[in-house]
A and B are shown apart, each in its own frame.
Chain A
Amino acid sequence: MKPKHLSLLVLTLLVVAAPFFFPSGFYYRIGALIFINAIAVTGLVILIGYAGQISLGHAGFAGIGAYACALAPEHLGLPPVAAILLGTALSAALAWLVGKPILRLHGYYLGVATLGLGILISMVLSNEAQWTGGPDGIAVPDLGLRGLLRDLGWRIGAGELWYGLAGTVMILGAWLALNLFDSPTGRALRALHGSEVAARTMGIDVARHKLHAFVVSAVYASVSGSLLALMNRLITPDVAGFMHSVQMVTMAVLGGVGSVLGAIFGATILTALPQLLTVFHQYEHMVLGLVMILVMIFLPDGLLPSLMKRLRGRDGE
């Protein structure tokens, strides 16, 4: 079996099997939250892991996706599903416009530029209170899927529904990212990560490929934000905030930013821990920082790839 199919199989089995171990219905919500975070983190695997470009502002795109679902149904009369698509279109357009100039930057400079972009979006969401409800947030209409299912004679709890829905979208997202990995575009991205100079001389339009990775990862973040908003039925500008961006990057780096499964693993740990251990919740930001430092020092490849390496012996060759 190809690694891609194995990864997808493992992921699907875990999503399907996990509920059998849930002590209570509360855990469906945690599961759904994990999947929603994992979607955004999968996007970062494409941007950071494949293409080697950092972003500290991707929560901004999650914010756009979230507020699209809050505002478009009310102001444009769109159904929530169309609002998700509108959010991704807006995020993609913004990522394309902003990415063109800032992806010329390297390393720290790109980090700071994307940081600025994220802060800008969260400021707009906080300050345009007449539209967004300001820092207190805004209510989000119901997706309507549960009602639809009930009419079809299938009664399902909100937690279970979101668990299934977010899990499906996450697996779909992982499938796309894994397809990309072993494709001409994926190889071009990984090549420019390895050596930009060599990639250019091999005929790769580096600027264009970076932009593609940036736009695709923005779409992932946007979908993640939309699902979060629709699940929680309330959204605040925190979804676009700096902490959320850092959280995404930490999840990716902790699990292993070069691998889709690893990043989802990282998202699982960092989402579940603060939910399960309330003690941890108070110190979440501190622990996030600590995790980042420790991973960088001891497991620069991330948890999952480092573990796999150790299991298979050096370098896994």
Chain B
Amino acid sequence: MSALLEIDGLGIAFGGITAVDDVSFAVRAGEIVSVIGPNGAGKTTLFNMISGLYRPSQGKVRLEGAEITAMEPHLLARRGLSRTFQNLQVFGEMTLLENVMVGHHLREKAGVLSDLLGLPASRQKTRASAESALALLARVGLEKAAYRAARTMSYGALKRLEIARALALAPKILLLDEPAAGCNAVETEEIDRLIAEIARAGVAILLVEHDMKLVMKISAHLVVLDHGRKIAEGAPAEVARDPQVIAAYLGQHGQEQVLHAEG
């Protein structure tokens, strides 16, 4: 099976400082791939390049074989790439329902004049969009709060709202940037279940997450970044034994301790 998303030698430098350097890997349809690494390893930067927010200084991104490097984010959305954000980017003044309805934007466009005049075409699209948005909110367990303004909700709820909104695009691949950050154990478990469910429906998932338990459990494949470079890649169990990975996470001293403990 050929890859859905291919990252090929991707790199970016900010004013002479290389943040991500020559990273390559691939994600297949329905597969969960996680990018892990210590803080500042370049995970979010990598996400921002893939989703078109940053222009890479080297390398290519391909989606279903077509090159999408540095393409405008709204065009990437049209091709089926959707994402969430590490530091929440919700539409605070809008209701939860409206937040998700924004994810339907590409399907519900009717034109400004039609929208101003409130023509049946526009109203019909709004109704249909509200219906399926409500179903998505139910899927992440937020249907009871559908008519509340997003800014009144808790952090954990907004994390799930972002997932529902990203799903409204009906994406082929979903980039999740630390979906469980700041969530308690129960919420994390719920997100874990949700991610597995989305992948089962055939959506490829690229995940950045610090919760190692979650990552090890649900990922088919891990990519480890350190100082912007890929230092390891493979199945979770394999990667966890990699001495370079242990060194990156625990420092040289920690690695000695681990080796010592093992020996």
Contact = CB atoms under 8 A, between A and B. Distances in A.
B77 A203 contact: yes
A120 B179 CA distance: 49
Interface in B124-159: 125-126, 129, 148-149, 152
B2 interface: no
A86 interface: no
Interface stretch (A158-166, A186-194, A243-251): A186-194
Given A212-B112, A317-B152, A182 B92 contact: no
Contact of B102 (A179, A183, A197, A204): A204
A200 B110 CA distance: 18
A206 B112 contact: no
B91 A216 contact: no
Nearest to A316: B149
Interface in A105-121: none
B205 to A, nearest CB: 16
B126 A182 contact: yes
Interface stretch (B21-29, B115-123, B252-260): B115-123
Given A179-B115, A199-B102, A184 B110 contact: yes
A195 B89 contact: yes
Contacts of B117: 176, 179
B203 to A, nearest CB: 16
Contacts, number: 119
Contact of A197 (B53, B76, B101, B148): B53
A187 B93 contact: no
User: Contact size class for B?
Assistant: 35 or more
B45 to A, nearest CB: 14
From DSSP, what is the main secondary structure of chain A's interface residues?
A: helix
A180 B82 contact: no
A191 B115 contact: no
B60 interface: no
A79 B85 CA distance: 55
A317 B149 contact: yes
B226 interface: no
Contacts of B207: none
Contact of A187 (B72, B82, B98): B98
A130 interface: no
Interface string B93-104: 110001101111
A191 B129 contact: no
Nearest to B102: A191
Given A194-B91, A258-B93, A183 B73 contact: no
Contacts of B77: 200-203
Nearest to B104: A184
B192 interface: no
Given A184-B126, A258-B93, 11 more contacts: A176-B117, A179-B117, A183-B122, A187-B101, A187-B105, A191-B99, A198-B91, A198-B165, A201-B52, A203-B74, A317-B148
25 contacts: A183-B122, A186-B115, A187-B98, A187-B105, A190-B91, A190-B94, A191-B91, A191-B99, A193-B91, A194-B92, A195-B91, A197-B73, A199-B91, A200-B52, A200-B77, A201-B52, A201-B53, A201-B82, A201-B83, A202-B77, A202-B82, A202-B102, A203-B103, A212-B112, A216-B112
Interface of A: 175-177, 179-180, 182-188, 190-191, 193-195, 197-206, 212, 216, 258, 315, 317
